[in-house]
Amino acid sequence: MSVLRLAIPSPLRRLFDYLPPRGMGAAEVQGLSPGQRLSVPFGSRRVTGYLVEVCLESELPDSALKHAEAVLDPQALVSPALLQLCDWAARYYHHPPGEVFSAAFPRPLREGKPHQANGTPGWRLSGRGMGLPTGALGRSPRQAQALAMLQGAEAVANTEFAARAISQAILRNLHDKALVEKCTLKLPQLEPASRPGLALNAEQASAVNALLENREGFSCHLLEGVTGSGKTEIYLQLIADCLARGRQALVLIPEIGLTPQTLDRFSGRFAANIVVLHSGLGEAERYRAWEAARDGSAHIVIGTRSAVFTPLRAPGLIVVDEEHDSSYKQQDGFRYSARDVAVKRAQLEGCPVLLGSATPSLESLHNAMTGRYQLHRLRQRAGASALPVIRAIDVRRQELQAGLSPLLLSAIGDKLAAGQQVLLFLNRRGYAPTLQCHDCGWVAECRACDARLTMHRRPARLRCHHCGATQAIPRQCPKCHGDNLLTAGLGTEQTEDFLRRHFCQWPIYRVDSDSMQARHAMRELVAQVNREQPGILLGTQMLTKGHHFPAVGLVAIIDADAMLFSADFRGEERMAQLLTQVAGRAGRAEVPGQVLLQTHYPDHPALQAMLALDYSDQARAMLASRQAAGMPPAGQLLILRTDCSDSARGEKFLQTLRDLTRDRLPTGTQLIGPLPAPMQRRAGKFRSQLILLAPDRRAAQAAAGLLVAQAEAGGARRDLKWSIDIDPLDLY
Ligand code: ADP
Ligand code: ZN
Ligand code: ZN
């Protein structure tokens, strides 16, 4: 007897056993291979499962097993390496395997729709049709003509039938006689070609050579290159080599906003089939791109986080650009790090993986220091441009207008007058982060979260940036009915208003998630900014990522203090990365760059380190202090979180978990909590957490296994949700 063990999308962290579909012969069952999709009954629903293995027996009695309904794919659509990757990820992140497998398939396939190859729809002979003599079906000339066409080719496209006035109805008639069947004609394969690359400088050449020497088999490389040092040029040259060997390249980028620019640069270099995968695609587009990656017709696959699970027919290189970027970590549901999964994938596929950044994560630096990754450094900017000069402006006792000091205002004016562009960084959207009553002190707060509401002007609403709730802006104080309501603090809308008045003859571009909602907004903005000069760009985090604005001669950080006092253990790393990346937007072309940083704490050590503009030294110092504290990457972290409408129950659940596992945890591990999350109430739910710090990966994995098993043993609890986060980015 055979049992099919399947991964099924469900919140349960286990596989499910089924009997083969009724009527399926033993030989056929033995011929099934992992990764094939099956449709199976699950509870009262019918769902799509993924075959993991065919076993001889189940732990359950036969009578308790249901039959699968149907095998959906004649062969597995994804490779064994990708299946192994999913299996690894499900174990490592302690996530339900069915949900992990789902990540490797586009929605129509997850929903059990038949697989469709890319190409042109058409027909071919089948069954009886193959044996028919030429000139058959003489009594029906149209059918005979269609048949003759099919006898002369492997398959014929619908467009060709149409050109000879043969309707689909004729073909359906032939199909009813079991002579022909529908098929998809493959698109003609494009031979990829590359334009010659730039002449590399010595540092670039040594990085490229090191990777070329290791192009067969797995190796992991960290490319630490200052902004503008020519990392992308290195990717391009390695990809050219990869294509020349008939292999595919997978390039991960952090942001959807970056795809147009990356794509333009790639398509300028390669005459090749480049497909893009990101969350902004329509379903049909996404499916075609996925299929092209799978069938090998796509030579280069560029995508955001989830693209790391795209099937590839012949992977030859994986690149993770801006590898430090926190958007590679999924923050809910399946909480994986696409960067870490990419490294594992390269290992399973047997190809090199290249992680690139001007500001590498401490994790990757640690791996490079300990010899697990090969480190390649680019210390100089490529081409003519020089690294920008960076200076702090002490704003203490200065008169600020919309957050801008007189010194900064005059610097902006000078640059504009000189025909250059200015980039202002303010990491807070909306008009003001606080609305307050000047008479009694009342503050507008979210009803569902422990958070203040942000005042927005366009449209005029109070908005919660945590749960999305909105309210009308009150005219009077709801508490004392005074009408002395004032805003406190500064958001991008407010600074934008001021800039429009103060620099009215120049264009002002605001770039934040509110102003960039439209699908192609970012692409259009980048094009417009690079066409119209001079002008001022004002924006949040969104502006700092990889975009290329060659005419920017001044970058200013309006509120450097906002980042100085983060409670999180990664606060300093984040700040150093962010500031270095923002500063890196300056002086990318002929224009020499200047960076100004407004602060009330010009002597703060983190700022001082920044002013020296050596992220790499700063990072190595931070690494030493993390090591001393046993924090990642020296130690391993995981967090169990609960989400509950009752504040005490979540904590009690975690306390019980702690009590029941404490004696069995590996030595050297340390439990912290349960504690309320730093923002305890969010969207009406109370959040608590239990943190585990382990000396190494193995101990962390063992502890995670224990905690998850114990948490699951309790079964589902109404109204209490728990989750586990392996290698969390933040402690809340
Ligand atoms: P990064 O990806 O590190 O930010 P890029 O690859 O975008 O750097 O390179 C920055 C600029 O320098 C680009 O305009 C690029 O064309 C140019 N560049 C890169 N490598 C070279 C080189 N070897 N010679 C001349 N210019 C180069
Ligand atoms: Zn009041
Ligand atoms: Zn809220």
Q: Please give the backbone phi and psi of residue 660, each rounded to the nearest 5 degrees, phi first.
A: -80, -20
- pLDDT class of 5 with cuts at 50, 70, 90: very high
Host H or E run for residue 445:
none
101 and 239 together in one domain: no
- Residue 455 and residue 447: Cα distance in Å, rounded? 15
244 and 268 together in one domain: yes
Q: Is the pLDDT of residue 387 over 90?
A: no
> Looking at 628, 647, 669, which one is the last position of a domain?
628
393 and 373 together in one domain: no
Residue 323 lies in a domain: yes
582 and 661 together in one domain: no
Q: Decide: pTM greater than 0.85.
A: yes
562 and 623 together in one domain: yes
Which stretch of 137-146, 446-455, 529-538 has the lowest confidence by average pLDDT? 137-146
- 580 against 15, higher pLDDT: 15
Q: Is the pLDDT of residue 238 over 70?
A: yes
Give, as one character, the DSSP assignment of residue 452: B
- 382 against 6, higher pLDDT: 6
557 and 667 together in one domain: no
Report residue 529 as tokens: 């900014």
Residue 697: give the domain boundaries.
636-726
Sheet architecture: strand order including 508-511? 389-394, 594-599, 552-557, 421-425, 535-539, 508-511
Q: Is the pLDDT of residue 133 over 80?
A: no
The predicted structure's pLDDT at residue 501: 96
Closest CA to 273 of 304, 313, 306: 313
The predicted structure's pLDDT at residue 370: 93
> Looking at 628, 662, 692, which one is the last position of a domain?
628
Q: How far is CA 287 from CA 116, 188, 280, 281, 283, in A?
A: 9, 19, 13, 9, 6
pLDDT in tens, 276-297: 998 778 899 999 999 999 999 9
- Could you tell me the CATH number of the domain that includes residue 712? 3.30.70.600
Instruction: Tell me the average pLDDT across 248-276.
Output: 86
Burial 497-531 (b: 16+ CB within 10 A, else e): bbbeebbeebebbbbbebbbeeeeebbebbeebee
State the Rg of the chain over Cα: 30
Q: Is the pLDDT of residue 257 over 70?
A: no
CA 317 to chain centre: 18
Residue 617 lies in a domain: yes
- Residue 445 and residue 479: Cα distance in Å, rounded? 13
Residue 226 CA: which ligand 1 atom is closest? 3
Residue that has been written with the tokens 């503050």 in this structure: 443
The predicted structure's pLDDT at residue 151: 85
156 and 57 together in one domain: no
Residue that has been written with the tokens 């890196």 in this structure: 584
Host H or E run for residue 493:
helix 492-502
Ligand 1: which of 233, 321, 580 to mutate, most ligand atoms within 8 Å of CB?
A: 233
314 and 243 together in one domain: yes
Average pLDDT, the chain: 90
- Residue 234 and residue 223: Cα distance in Å, rounded? 9
**Residue pair 455/420 in contact by the 8 Å Cβ criterion:** no
- Residue 190 and residue 322: Cα distance in Å, rounded? 30
Closest CA to 568 of 363, 730, 692, 362: 730
Instruction: Tell me the average pLDDT across 25-43.
Output: 92
- pLDDT class of 140 with cuts at 50, 70, 90: confident
529 and 576 together in one domain: yes
Residue 604 lies in a domain: yes
Residues 6+ apart with CB under 8 A from 542: 255, 257, 511, 512, 513, 516, 522
Q: Is the pLDDT of residue 128 over 80?
A: no
Which residue, by CA, sits nearest to atom 6 of ligand 1?
A: 230
DSSP E strands in 415-464: the ranges are 421-425, 434-437, 454-457, 460-463
Number of domain units in the chain: 5
Structure-derived torsion over alpha carbons of residues 213, 217, 219, 221, reported in degrees to the nearest 10: 50
Residue 384 lies in a domain: no
> Looking at 628, 651, 685, which one is the last position of a domain?
628
- pLDDT class of 150 with cuts at 50, 70, 90: confident
Q: Which residues line ligand 1 (CB under 6 A)?
A: 198-201, 204, 225, 227-233, 382-383
Q: Is the pLDDT of residue 321 over 90?
A: yes
Residue 473 lies in a domain: no
Count of alpha carbons within 13 angstroms of residue 261, beta-carbon side: 20
Instruction: Tell me the average pLDDT across 558-566.
Output: 84
Q: Please give the backbone phi and psi of residue 98, each rounded to the nearest 5 degrees, phi first.
A: -60, -40
The predicted structure's pLDDT at residue 32: 93
Residue 583 lies in a domain: yes
Residue 534 lies in a domain: yes
Residue 678 Cα to ligand 3 middle (Å):
14
Which residue, by CA, sits nearest to atom 21 of ligand 1?
A: 382
Closest CA to 586 of 228, 215, 190: 228
Instruction: Tell me the average pLDDT across 630-638.
Output: 92
**Ligand in nearest proximity to the CA of 452:** 3
Residue 589 CA: which ligand 1 atom is closest? 14
- pLDDT class of 344 with cuts at 50, 70, 90: very high
Which residue, by CA, sits nearest to atom 25 of ligand 1?
A: 383
Host H or E run for residue 681:
strand 670-682
Report residue 27 as tokens: 């030989």
- Could you tell me the CATH number of the domain that includes residue 394? 3.40.50.300
The predicted structure's pLDDT at residue 291: 94
588 and 652 together in one domain: no
Ligand 1: which of 232, 239, 262, 269 to mutate, most ligand atoms within 8 Å of CB?
A: 232
- Residue 4 and residue 366: Cα distance in Å, rounded? 42
397 and 365 together in one domain: no
Count of alpha carbons within 13 angstroms of residue 392, beta-carbon side: 22
165 and 34 together in one domain: no
- Could you tell me the CATH number of the domain that includes residue 99? 3.40.1440.60
**Residue pair 337/331 in contact by the 8 Å Cβ criterion:** no
Residue 700 lies in a domain: yes
